[in-house]
Amino acid sequence: MEGIKKVAVIGGGAAGFFAALSVAEHHPTAQITLYEKSSKVLSKVKISGGGRCNVTHNCTDIPTLIQAYPRGGKQLKSIFHTFQPKDIIAWFNARGVTLKTETDGRMFPITDDSQTIINCLEAACDKLGIQRQLNTGVEKISPHEGQWTLEFKNGVIQCDAVIVTTGGSPKAKGFDWLANLKHSITPPVPSLFTFNMPQEDITQLMGVVAKKAKVHITGSKIKTEGPLLITHWGMSGPAILKASSVGARVLADLNYHFNIRVQWLEESPQELLNILEETAKDNPQKQIGKHNPFDLPNRLWTYLFNKIKLPQDRRWNELGQKNFHRLIDLLTNDNYTVEGKTTFKEEFVTCGGINLKDINMKTMESKKAKGLYFAGEVLDIDAITGGYNFQAAWSGGYVAGKLQ
């Protein structure tokens, strides 16, 4: 857009900050103001990754990257060609913030402190003269003679372009002010949540992690793998969170009552049988409760053979083929009933938002209204856990801020 003088960014999260910074880069003479309805900016950045901030994921292959997005992946392809993980890594590095990669590909600041990311973003805004208005909620936006009118509780302003980065909303009502501009809204449902299992006694193992579990939502095509964490309410960890993301709408339709099948180890049934037979041969007199041949926490190992009523003082040479196959069946086909979910209240991610058919995904501009742009979770885009949601925010904000 030519002749940009005044730009409003609505929403002070990751996408909002990066959109404002992109405007400043591409339109250095523009007056930019970021409006945040609460008293704090970047609150989700602050708490993400347990307070460390999972900035992005170390995946630079775009066809692989887009597979992390159950909704919006194909549409994100064009903006990732403009700005992708290697670009955000370089952006922070140029400003003195080094990111490190963990074994699962997630990337964090080397300080392991999300405040490092917040300080960097705020300093960059200050350096470029970007104004921030807190406790300033926008109640209505409307086009007016080639510009945009923003209405607040205590006033009205006009600007040349608006970038909306208000994040997801747990209820459809949160999008009413955008639906009034003729945008289609995909009804929001939770994504990235843990599974509640009030009737399952495995919750007694709270804190135990199976490193290489596979999870299958029974009766569906949803299958995920990764670490699985047992909690006092049920199950969590990457394998569960991925399943909740991929199956967000399916599980909502089931009212969060369904069954899952867990494969606790990555080995095939034949490989497990070989391990059991070799263990019995090499350790015939050892008790199964005191000799765990698998890469499983001992508490989980004990729980599993107790589940099929094998006494833990039974010796390995006393098991036999029948019990071997009972153990293998449990290790590869362990079933649990889910009766509800637990959503991270401050860190919620929603599946839903502005329908992407209403957005030019090469520019992030609305197809319904010229000069109106979107980025971040306000759109019907969401990802599995691992830094992907923030990457969509950085990339979308950067492209929106070009105001093309």
- Angle subtended by helix axes 85-94 and 388-400, to nearest 10: 80
- Report the Cα 373 to chain-centroid distance in Å: 23
> Which helix (H) or strand (E) segment is 252 a member of?
helix 248-253
- Within a 13 Å sphere around the CA of 39, how many CA atoms are in the beta-carbon half? 0
What residues pair up with 213 in beta bridges, in sequence order?
A: 226
Residue 271 located in a structural domain: no
Domain check: are 217 and 283 in the same one?
no
Residues 6+ positions from 59 with CB-CB distance below 8 Å: 65, 68, 85, 105
Rounded Cα–Cα distance for residues 297 and 263 (Å): 14
Beta pairing class for 161-164 and 372-374: parallel
Domain check: are 237 and 295 in the same one?
no
Domain check: are 128 and 243 in the same one?
no
Q: Is the pLDDT of residue 3 over 90?
A: no
**Span 350-370, mean pLDDT?**
96
Domain check: are 222 and 182 in the same one?
no
- Residues 34, 136 contacting (CB under 8 angstroms): no
Return the SS3 of 145.
Answer: coil
Position 343 scores a pLDDT of 74
pLDDT digits (tens, 9 = 90+) for 151-204: 999 899 999 999 999 999 888 899 999 988 999 999 999 999 999 999 999 999
pLDDT digits (tens, 9 = 90+) for 238-257: 999 999 999 999 999 999 99
Phi/psi at 197 (5° precision): -135, 70
Residue 270 located in a structural domain: no
Domain check: are 228 and 285 in the same one?
no
CATH of the domain at 222: 2.40.30.10
Domain check: are 129 and 24 in the same one?
yes
Q: Is the pLDDT of residue 345 over 60?
A: no
The sign one gets for the Cα dihedral 301, 307, 310, 312 is positive
Residue 289 located in a structural domain: yes
Residue 119 located in a structural domain: yes
**pTM higher than the cut 0.85:** yes
**Span 217-239, mean pLDDT?**
96
- Report the Cα 152 to chain-centroid distance in Å: 31
- Residues 240, 194 contacting (CB under 8 angstroms): yes
Residue 353 located in a structural domain: yes
- The DSSP secondary-structure symbol of 296 reads S
Position 2 scores a pLDDT of 62
pLDDT range class, residue 260, cuts 50, 70, 90: very high
Position 180 scores a pLDDT of 87
Count of residues for the chain?
A: 404
Q: How many domains does the chain have?
A: 3
Average pLDDT, the chain: 95
Residue 156 located in a structural domain: yes
Q: Report angle CA 350, 381, 81 to the nearest 5 degrees.
A: 150
The sign one gets for the Cα dihedral 307, 309, 313, 319 is negative
CATH of the domain at 73: 3.50.50.60
Residue 139 located in a structural domain: yes
Residues 6+ positions from 88 with CB-CB distance below 8 Å: 55, 56, 391, 394, 395
- Residues 154, 139 contacting (CB under 8 angstroms): no
Residue 1 located in a structural domain: no
> Helix, strand, coil: what percent of the chain each, to 5?
35, 25, 35
Position 1 scores a pLDDT of 56
pLDDT digits (tens, 9 = 90+) for 294-315: 999 999 999 999 999 999 999 9
Rounded Cα–Cα distance for residues 38 and 346 (Å): 13
Q: Is the pLDDT of residue 344 over 70?
A: no
Position 348 scores a pLDDT of 64
Domain check: are 197 and 339 in the same one?
yes
Q: Is the pLDDT of residue 266 over 80?
A: yes
> What CA–CA distances, in Å, run from 35 to 17, 54, 130, 173?
10, 24, 11, 20
Domain check: are 339 and 221 in the same one?
yes
pLDDT range class, residue 210, cuts 50, 70, 90: very high
**Span 65-86, mean pLDDT?**
97
Domain check: are 310 and 321 in the same one?
yes
Domain check: are 64 and 172 in the same one?
yes
| Residue 302: domain span | 276-330
Domain check: are 208 and 105 in the same one?
no
Q: Is the pLDDT of residue 349 over 90?
A: no
Q: Tell me how many helices (H) and strands (E) the chain has.
A: 13, 22
CA end-to-end distance (rounded Å), the chain: 5
- Of all residues in the chain, the percent with pLDDT exceeding 70 is 98
Domain check: are 120 and 158 in the same one?
yes
